Structure 1
């Protein structure tokens, strides 16, 4: 069953600052309330908070009116440049390898395969790449058209870096979250909204599944067959993503067979990739990319689709290609 959010075109007005809530009578214009109704009727703030969907005090959704063209997106003639962030404050995925040395662009170790290969994929497309696990890099974000969170964990940022990321996104910057980008900054609500209003909850063991293409209009999916096989951890998330353009989901059979720690997963609708405008910026995210082999030259089933999905999503978040088509 394709996602109930596949046509969730939402323009969400910014919340009143300070209290962070709308008045009960103030409508939020949306195709649905993000929690399964999908009836096209406006939802009041009271209704949204009753069904656990937050507004995060920002403009968010799939309408470009939520974007701020304030200089952080790519423009013709500019150098294309991204920053890859992979600092971990807790468990570390094998595809990241050993922690990086301080500074910008330290020598990569042989086991830093995700950083090395994402860098190589980007450079093949003419995109310059910086990579780091040094918090000092967040003082210079405005030279990048996208910041890529590549499987960071737990408290990856300090207060200054959080502020810098918010200012960068609000200026029209691109954000790309890959795999365990959903397992970091748990206590920062603004970041939860950047991910689509959700966080990592749990997952079953790495296992084969069938990816279903929900939206073939987007540049990150238009080249894909309707379904394709892939192996991953198939993250269960909570709450369910809201006001986003779902691009891919894993099929019902894989999802329902993937219960972990007593959590039932997302049932028939289990999104794995989506995009949205958020607080002035562009956010493209995917839970895919667990296996080390996804990030190496080793051939695994449909790893080319995964690679192109990530790179097309990255270029769209940068502003090089159309973003979040519905």
Structure 2
């Protein structure tokens, strides 16, 4: 759990400082504990606490109250988390955040009326390890807050999609489309059966496709070929230039795009029925566990990439914002290693994607002085493959497999 400067954590949060450290601390400062705090038995994980915010400064979704009821019920039924629901920004205090593991924005809209001090406090809380979860219109929120926009990973543009039908039909049928499962091995998708499922939902089109940006790992995407039809409104698919036939609808990332604070966002949450689905509830519970205590891996070309015996080295020299060399000749079956000599974080990702729209190869982020293997290069066939840094898009190079 992250700490907020100037606050005092209760003793239950400091249980790891057992033994002689507890005695030492007791001689310096008294740490108050409330009557309802208990220390979990040794070896049992801490149950995460969620602060669920559903305040709206624009359009208000009719499913908000139902989502609060369902998520509150899940907390009671599963015991996997606890939750406090609010629509009052006054509840975002240093004391409250000190007792919070995850902040959930559920169908928020408009500019959240935080003070500048609250924004600064929240940003620091996230940088200190606080987790963030967003549902549906959380991506239609805080367009004027740069930190929030980076954290969520994408911003709402429109919702033109309907189901695949060419006749007048009930709205349930018009709105149903196929959701594709990606990264099935990710723990959030652990309970999903099959590689796709139909769902009636209001699917968002993004101002900028989040795939391939920051360290976004897509979990679910929309099969846009299943949205071409004369619904209300019509969905004309590739006839309209604004369609790119790639629309992520659920993803994970880190808040700053390169390692700080875990984030989960889902577009699925417009209708009451969405929250009643067993698969949505299972993914939500899994997402809570992942945001609280999971490990984020950037996208890779395959779940089980070849481990190369030899890795060609590409460096990012200090202050240059270039890769050296920018043409890397790699024998087939061998790999590529990024060595970062810069003070900024960098990674490598291919511009080309596979049939599932995943990069052919990608590295984790290498911090200053660090190294990162570029996963997937050893599986490439002979040819030229362009790559770039997802943080600093002007940094680019080519892998030539021979």
Q: TM-score normalised by the shorter chain: which range applies?
A: 0.5 to 0.7
1:324 to partner: Cα distance = 5.6
Question: Aligned match of 1:131 in 69, 79, 85?
Answer: 85
Instruction: For residue 58 of structure 2, give the secondary structure of its aligned residue in structure 1.
Output: coil
1:205 to partner: Cα distance = 5.9
Counterparts in 2 of 1:269 and 1:255: CA distance versus 1, 3 Å: farther
**TM-score if structure 1 supplies the norm length?**
0.65
Q: How far apart, in 2, do the equivalents of 1:119 and 1:218 lie? A: 25
Q: How far apart, in 2, do the equivalents of 1:149 and 1:217 lie? A: 26
Counterparts in 2 of 1:252 and 1:205: CA distance versus 1, 3 Å: closer
Given the alignment of the two structures, is residue 81 of structure 1 paired with residue 24 of structure 2, yes or no? no
Q: How far apart, in 2, do the equivalents of 1:318 and 1:143 lie? A: 13
Aligned to 1:267: 244
1:318 to partner: Cα distance = 1.4
Q: Is the 8 A contact 1:256 1:264 kept in 2?
A: no
List gaps (5 residues or longer) in structure 2: 5-12, 17-43, 163-174, 230-234, 300-402
Q: How far apart, in 2, do the equivalents of 1:89 and 1:157 lie? A: 8
Instruction: For residue 216 of structure 1, give the secondary structure of its aligned residue in structure 2.
Output: coil
Equivalences, count: 233
Q: Is the 8 A contact 2:161 2:227 kept in 1?
A: no
Question: Aligned match of 1:170 in 102, 105, 127?
Answer: 127
Instruction: For residue 220 of structure 1, give the secondary structure of its aligned residue in structure 2.
Output: helix
Given the alignment of the two structures, is residue 305 of structure 1 paired with residue 258 of structure 2, yes or no? no
Given the alignment of the two structures, is residue 239 of structure 1 paired with residue 208 of structure 2, yes or no? yes
Aligned to 2:21: none
Q: How far apart, in 2, do the equivalents of 1:265 and 1:121 lie? A: 38
Question: Aligned match of 2:140 in 175, 180, 183?
Answer: 183
Aligned to 1:119: 72
Counterparts in 2 of 1:232 and 1:265: CA distance versus 1, 3 Å: farther
For 1:99-148, what per-residue CA distance to the aligned partner results, in whole angstroms no more than 9, with x for missing partners?
xxxxxxxxxxxxx2111111111232221111101111111212111111
Q: How far apart, in 1, do the equivalents of 2:269 and 2:242 lie? A: 19
Instruction: For residue 276 of structure 1, give the secondary structure of its aligned residue in structure 2.
Output: strand
**TM-score if structure 2 supplies the norm length?**
0.53
1:195 to partner: Cα distance = 1.1
Q: Is the 8 A contact 2:67 2:272 kept in 1?
A: yes
Q: Which moved more, 1:243-252 or 1:303-312?
A: 303-312
Q: How far apart, in 1, do the equivalents of 2:297 and 2:70 lie? A: 25
1:255 to partner: Cα distance = 5.0
Q: Is the 8 A contact 1:219 1:322 kept in 2?
A: no
Given the alignment of the two structures, is residue 281 of structure 1 paired with residue 237 of structure 2, yes or no? no
Q: Is the 8 A contact 2:254 2:262 kept in 1?
A: yes
List gaps (5 residues or longer) in structure 1: 1-68, 97-111, 297-302
Q: How far apart, in 2, do the equivalents of 1:252 and 1:148 lie? A: 28
Aligned to 2:271: 291
Q: Is the 8 A contact 2:101 2:292 kept in 1?
A: yes
Q: Is the 8 A contact 1:255 1:265 kept in 2?
A: no
Higher relative contact order (CA 8 A, sep 6+): 1
Aligned to 2:292: 318
For 1:294-313, what per-residue CA distance to the aligned partner results, in whole angstroms no more than 9, with x for missing partners?
234xxxxxx22122122211
Q: Is the 8 A contact 1:203 1:235 kept in 2?
A: yes
Q: How far apart, in 1, do the equivalents of 2:143 and 2:178 lie? A: 29
Q: How far apart, in 1, do the equivalents of 2:280 and 2:242 lie? A: 22
Alignment of 1:75-114 (within 5 A): 77-96=45-64, 112-114=65-67
Q: How far apart, in 1, do the equivalents of 2:240 and 2:133 lie? A: 27
Aligned to 1:217: 185
Aligned to 1:64: none
